[in-house]
Structure 1
């Protein structure tokens, strides 16, 4: 129960944990740190700075390591990196991690990265020891998901029926062999057995040494005798433990010499090397561990093409001690990253930064798909002590509502399977996919699924949204036909409360759920099916009338998973041509429902929803395009889309302000009084406001360039552009009146 799991983090802090029944108050130079009933501590030894984080009601979880990119791996929880939000006000704890992998009885982990072990285990496998209930050493696969990581059991490495075999830790040695510590005692409980139980063995204990057949071990390096340059060069090795030991030694050397060696090492590396972002990250971590934090390198990594590097860099924003003057902007950018792992790190880092801008960044993550570890990280961050102070006493804050929805989503439990369903779920190649509905966004939490032909698939579909939705998987090319048929169903009042599964198109539908949601019998449904044998892209969609154009995704079926992922990558919109007004000498806009729906699809494809709303779809950062269509039609409307700077809406016109102190502020004025201007530099981050005192303005220069970029229609075909005009001039798709009472807007 007492302090355990001491380990050095990749960036040089000491991490350790305390278990249930303990209440701690630690006096530090920075003030008291309190925690109770299980949680983590992190100490910076150079500054004697102690943090408490990740507290939630659990038992006695042991075992800790870090993967190649610095993600914290433990037992309860497994993907512990998602649990790093700072604690809520003492003595409160974070919520239980419902539905996330978490186990007791695990004592240690080690990722396979030494060449002394088999090739097929390298890179994405780790080994852990279990002292209960199995008494075994297991091989597991480390699998990245849309919102974090999960482990998957592969096989046993060591197993014994001897109850005295109790593995309690394991570690690679410098020679590349793996060493397992065996407590070797038949009594492993402190409360279940008498302290005088004669079976207690106080003298025995074993160390097992595991090597691979036909794989030679290594000659251990002597880190103590290496130069600083040699130690830094070791950071480029694959073996985590070698890098770990090298950094331990570097912390004992002169920090200025280490910084110089790191710079020289990076300068000599090949930037085209796939491992280059990782080498940069090791340099950043090492610099921080010796008190030489490299802000320039941090900014480079935040822009890395590798999302693992971006996520690890965002994590470091927690520890910059407010030395960055644009923390809020950096967090906001990360909160809108296309990768869930980066958004998760942004949410967690916000709990450390603790500013109103940081809170807004967490809220922004909810505008993107949310689920699993990401959803848990967001809940914990919003509940952390620093961020709670900004919303708890604000009666106008949306945060309590958002947290309630996240909590409700986490409480949606998969129904108990029947015997046949349980047998289906035991198949070895089963792909289990969690798909939820993003509240208020009309989006699935997962919009791309990759499976191989003939693979058994289980989709756990949940809906915490205020609207009802379904999940319908259709054949390639059948999306529009099925969607339009659902629209036709809406015209008949007797279908107002139906599942909107068009019976005449059943031959085009592979599988579907009923409508689920707050107005239906359930908010969760499980689909089980075998992926088609025919490779291709199979759309999935919500067929509620009008939703099917917006709320959709694709399941790629390939001969292999790699082939399926390539199909998804190839689906990204490609440039058709650089359209100009001269390409449209005649414009004919036909008002019919099918063209309106196709135009709505073009509206989504051109990504107009980033800044504009039409009929409730999209984000209101620019003028509602339905209002624009009231002022312009036909060719004039098309010109506004192709040449947005021809006539700029005064409300959204960028301006440049030259201040008396020489500074320049540029952006759109969102609010103006006699004494103050509220300026937003980037409409994609409207909460990042710069306040400009009117008295400080030397000159005010309106821009002649619209904030709307040109070229947005270049991904559309000619017919799609004409359909888009039809959609805009129509004001968007409108539900029949008899449907409104059955579906909340």
Structure 2
């Protein structure tokens, strides 16, 4: 039996109190309403002048029906017309919609506070539903977002104040007419979809233009001229729509342009487009006067106004936990397995907490005395699910008991001569909990990101307090004597890195920059850099941050995420595509590349020469990043791994072992932190493999004489030890965190499982006792010439930190010092070419690459230096005036890796000359890596070369190149219709069922390659399924699957795993009377005993007399969105492979 038992559940009558009417000072709490599910048709737009029919709302089920069903809404009296000055009725429900201009009002609350100050007696009910990157015709949401109710429908606004036009403006003059048509369509369809009451009474709308673009004077950001020209066009277009529809209109563009132009530089924005606090106040004041034609009563800065504003911000944050709830995949999406009873109660509680805050805000606005905090005592009780500990017997400790740090060290097996030492733990520093990433600053101090809030905030708890902790003053055994909490208001900080004298850190769903300005090691400057990062799964959110040598921040994101962010260059949207975001913090440009077949990438590291290795956390796959990171291509295929990890997974961080503190025989080895299968640091040797790399796990003779794993550290019997983020420290030792948890994962238990640990976290280091520790090399306060000398150090991590510090120093000083330093380098030094490449990387970090110097390094004697310099040329292409001239020799370089880098670089250059240069590389000797990069790069350039190919005007004197284009053209034809169908399906989660069925049939017509499909199956599916005796026996055995399912059904089973779930594989949850909880598939059942197949393929018998509750869900354990991680061609090949499985069908487990 489990050592934890179920906590008492809640007293009855909660549903009635939540839904029927929590009364707070006479105000009824918002009653949740039931929206249409994604598959339900949206309400049709009424014809002009017609009343909108009430939308058809299908009923919810289970706890959602009990807590989130909307009570009837009787007819409301008519609203005042939408004209200026705007008038409000008492208790009018007002909603903000639009993009970040409105969404960022959640951060400061100035405009809403002014509304309450102006209309204290009207007691306005205000919600902000704006989202980054929203447009009138594009409002990307998570899959299943309305599965438990659409928050906008639940609110039922009377008036919508609309803030659209910014993201649309990047469509330029050509998009203006579409914007106007889309805006009118939005007013009609939105009004019909979200009526004020059950009679279909239409809400009113107010149109507000986007603000102007603030010119920064920074050459790395847009100048603002084109941007403001376009914004003016879209502001004028919005005015035309408002006039045509007789809607109140406010022009923010003209007055903000005047304010922004009054002083040079960024006075009102953080990045030219997103308002800072001063800009938000300016816009709030402009709106307040424009909407009501007179100055308001608010006195910004006064104690009364600041109290009101703080209350508004608190309410806005609470509301955000509803309409932008984290972990949506588990709340309303495809992984809603364990918490079908939990989250409906939480959503209802949040909405009631917001209603309490409405009353609190009104009381402040009316000058009444209020308590220090709103009273949430009557907002509803929650339930605690049964403990799930014991569900995974081969992956969890036998008892839910945590060893001391010393006891944990005693379980760690290391090679002779190595020793594990404790750096810090929760025992010495209670704030050090749930360590997921570590890093060393320029003073040699160790920072740790800590996530006690994980997996998400619980309504009624204090605000999230995840934090960055600084450890310092280490003794001779490496133990920290001091710690300092740098910042403690974060939500799940899955990644952080140092930049510009501060720290870039995740604060889901935002990315922050924090800085200490008064040298007390506490952040006192907080800047919201960007917003809209996917949070569908809080451990899939961008994380595992790593700088490239040239200063680009790599941030990894998992599958089934919905990310939509705004930048000064336009919106960036990605949905369901696991991969890497590459952020240039100077220009704020972001690009993305897909990592095919990944579930949740958590590994990134660059080697001696700047070549990146990216890896999955869910599987052991590790890949060379150059071929993967060509320009975006929808047909991207999976790629061969550097090594597959031999099933040692999941993985949280990687490192190359280059340190003089360790023996020679380990130098250059590669490790990843494995948190389950061997609980340690899996160790690999990496070698060249043609143009790319290949690796193998280190081996040694085992007791039986056969090869056995020779890992640097293993603690497979310590199932609370979950190592994270290994990194060579300034003293040469290997440091790593410890998540320290008995429960093994995110989806394997209820998000509210009482066994989820919040209190433990450790940092350890591994030292080699046969050699002394290195004298730490630090960067703080060192002059630039000394920092450049650190680039000569043997340890790449020291060089990493030196480059990072040099990027923070003034550009003129750094460039002058580089010139002098390079001139003194000795050409006879074997490190000469590497050091020149290091200098080039430092220049790149300032976007100040010297083209003449770059040309020299591109033609260096050392081939790896030429490859590294080619990547610099690719990254800085737009800043290098003769880039095309410089790339040509690289595409024909004798070193194959340089050619791969050149092909990749040219994939971003959409010209015929670029294609012709790529094809010259195709005429040279090729291997797997070159062929893959050629196919992906030319795929990205399809629009360039295909018309030329059809006209026979390309590769005229290049037979090999023409042969390659002919082959690629042929490959693109057979499955064209199926490819289009797959893309359409993935882009429209609300597609009607009839259309879905047609798409399944269309895809099934395609003829794929079953041999290629078998390779896709091994890579993507074999971790849960078997076929022909390969894979894991957990989900349905695919052997003989074609005898059970027709080809369209195979397609449907992958695209929609929950659509037609075989009852044998329906997820069943069983709670026993003793408080144990099990989840799995029913494999047998007698009158006395129910047997579940649980994790690890274990059959768990349960006496029926012991069962307190049994629930079988129509829920597959297979994740939604799997197809998004494959190319369309791979998907078709996988279906072809499965369709070929007609022999040896396994007999299903018969129920007795």
* TM-score (norm: length of structure 1): 0.52
Query: Are residues 1:153 and 2:697 paired?
Result: yes
Contact 1:98–1:410 (Cα < 8 Å) also in 2: no
Contact 1:16–1:42 (Cα < 8 Å) also in 2: yes
2:936 aligned partner: 380
Once the two structures are superposed, the pairs formed by residues 523-534 of structure 1 within 5 Å of their partners are none
Candidates 397, 401, 404, aligned match of 2:966: 401
1:3 aligned partner: 542
The Cα shift of 1:171 comes to 0.9
Candidates 556, 559, 570, aligned match of 1:17: 556
1:31 aligned partner: 570
Per-residue CA shift, 1:6-60, capped at 9, x if unaligned? 1111011111121100132322222222333112111111112211224534211
Separation in 2, partners of 1:203, 1:222: 32
Contact 2:847–2:876 (Cα < 8 Å) also in 1: no
Query: Are residues 1:97 and 2:653 paired?
Result: no
Query: Are residues 1:64 and 2:604 paired?
Result: yes
1:78 aligned partner: 623
Separation in 2, partners of 1:285, 1:410: 43
Separation in 2, partners of 1:403, 1:410: 19
Once the two structures are superposed, the pairs formed by residues 621-636 of structure 1 within 5 Å of their partners are none
Separation in 2, partners of 1:248, 1:320: 18
Once the two structures are superposed, the pairs formed by residues 157-172 of structure 1 within 5 Å of their partners are 157-160=712-715, 161-172=717-728
1:390 aligned partner: 944
Structure 1 residues 99 and 172: alpha-carbon distance in aligned structure 2, compared to 1, 3 A threshold: closer
CA root-mean-square deviation: 2.7
Contact 1:55–1:87 (Cα < 8 Å) also in 2: no
Once the two structures are superposed, the pairs formed by residues 328-339 of structure 1 within 5 Å of their partners are 328-339=884-895
SS at match of 2:718: coil
Separation in 2, partners of 1:185, 1:278: 42
Query: Are residues 1:223 and 2:763 paired?
Result: no
2:797 aligned partner: 241
Candidates 276, 288, 292, aligned match of 2:848: 292
Structure 1 residues 346 and 367: alpha-carbon distance in aligned structure 2, compared to 1, 3 A threshold: same
1:614 aligned partner: none
2:304 aligned partner: none
Contact 2:815–2:843 (Cα < 8 Å) also in 1: yes
Separation in 1, partners of 2:908, 2:609: 20
Candidates 658, 663, 670, aligned match of 1:126: 670
Per-residue CA shift, 1:243-291, capped at 9, x if unaligned? 1111222122121111111111111121111111000000000011123
Separation in 2, partners of 1:346, 1:284: 17
1:316 aligned partner: 872
The Cα shift of 1:340 comes to 1.5
Separation in 2, partners of 1:146, 1:234: 32
Once the two structures are superposed, the pairs formed by residues 266-665 of structure 1 within 5 Å of their partners are 266-384=822-940, 387-394=941-948, 395-396=950-951, 398=962, 401-403=966-968, 411=1012
- Gapped runs of 5+ residues in structure 2? 1-539, 617-621, 699-709, 953-961, 973-1008, 1018-1152
Separation in 2, partners of 1:238, 1:95: 37
The Cα shift of 1:198 comes to 4.1
Separation in 2, partners of 1:195, 1:359: 50
Separation in 1, partners of 2:570, 2:851: 27
Separation in 2, partners of 1:284, 1:337: 20
Separation in 1, partners of 2:584, 2:595: 19
Separation in 1, partners of 2:884, 2:967: 21
Query: Are residues 1:190 and 2:746 paired?
Result: yes
Tell which deviates more after alignment, 144-153 or 358-367. Answer: 358-367
The Cα shift of 1:413 comes to 7.9
Separation in 2, partners of 1:402, 1:30: 36
Q: Which has the higher contact order (CA 8 A, sep 6+)?
A: 2
Structure 1 residues 273 and 61: alpha-carbon distance in aligned structure 2, compared to 1, 3 A threshold: same
1:177 aligned partner: 733
SS at match of 2:886: helix
Query: Are residues 1:138 and 2:682 paired?
Result: yes
- Gapped runs of 5+ residues in structure 1? 417-745
Structure 1 residues 320 and 302: alpha-carbon distance in aligned structure 2, compared to 1, 3 A threshold: same
Structure 1 residues 117 and 226: alpha-carbon distance in aligned structure 2, compared to 1, 3 A threshold: same
**Bigger Rg over Cα:** 2
The Cα shift of 1:393 comes to 4.0
Separation in 1, partners of 2:713, 2:641: 29
Separation in 1, partners of 2:682, 2:946: 45
1:630 aligned partner: none
Contact 2:855–2:886 (Cα < 8 Å) also in 1: no
2:108 aligned partner: none
Per-residue CA shift, 1:457-498, capped at 9, x if unaligned? xxxxxxxxxxxxxxxxxxxxxxxxxxxxxxxxxxxxxxxxxx
2:37 aligned partner: none
Separation in 1, partners of 2:546, 2:889: 31
Per-residue CA shift, 1:600-630, capped at 9, x if unaligned? xxxxxxxxxxxxxxxxxxxxxxxxxxxxxxx
Separation in 2, partners of 1:185, 1:3: 22
Query: Are residues 1:41 and 2:573 paired?
Result: no
Contact 1:379–1:406 (Cα < 8 Å) also in 2: no
Contact 2:871–2:905 (Cα < 8 Å) also in 1: yes
Separation in 2, partners of 1:366, 1:409: 27
Separation in 1, partners of 2:779, 2:835: 19
Separation in 2, partners of 1:79, 1:409: 26
Structure 1 residues 377 and 278: alpha-carbon distance in aligned structure 2, compared to 1, 3 A threshold: same
SS at match of 1:297: helix
Contact 1:164–1:186 (Cα < 8 Å) also in 2: yes
The Cα shift of 1:344 comes to 0.6
Separation in 2, partners of 1:179, 1:20: 29
The Cα shift of 1:199 comes to 3.4
Structure 1 residues 57 and 102: alpha-carbon distance in aligned structure 2, compared to 1, 3 A threshold: same
Contact 1:146–1:339 (Cα < 8 Å) also in 2: no
SS at match of 1:184: coil
SS at match of 1:116: coil
The Cα shift of 1:219 comes to 2.5
The Cα shift of 1:389 comes to 2.1
Contact 1:255–1:291 (Cα < 8 Å) also in 2: no
1:601 aligned partner: none
Contact 2:675–2:722 (Cα < 8 Å) also in 1: yes
Structure 1 residues 25 and 371: alpha-carbon distance in aligned structure 2, compared to 1, 3 A threshold: farther
Structure 1 residues 228 and 99: alpha-carbon distance in aligned structure 2, compared to 1, 3 A threshold: closer
1:674 aligned partner: none
Structure 1 residues 24 and 198: alpha-carbon distance in aligned structure 2, compared to 1, 3 A threshold: closer
Structure 1 residues 276 and 168: alpha-carbon distance in aligned structure 2, compared to 1, 3 A threshold: same
Contact 2:891–2:902 (Cα < 8 Å) also in 1: yes
2:400 aligned partner: none
Separation in 2, partners of 1:158, 1:179: 12
The Cα shift of 1:126 comes to 2.3
The Cα shift of 1:83 comes to 1.2
Separation in 1, partners of 2:918, 2:675: 39
Separation in 2, partners of 1:5, 1:197: 26
Separation in 1, partners of 2:580, 2:663: 34
Per-residue CA shift, 1:190-233, capped at 9, x if unaligned? 22212343432221122221000211112223311211110111
The Cα shift of 1:309 comes to 0.7
Separation in 2, partners of 1:363, 1:169: 40
Structure 1 residues 68 and 318: alpha-carbon distance in aligned structure 2, compared to 1, 3 A threshold: same
Contact 2:623–2:641 (Cα < 8 Å) also in 1: no
The Cα shift of 1:359 comes to 1.4
SS at match of 2:873: helix
Contact 1:3–1:16 (Cα < 8 Å) also in 2: yes
Candidates 633, 647, 662, aligned match of 1:117: 662
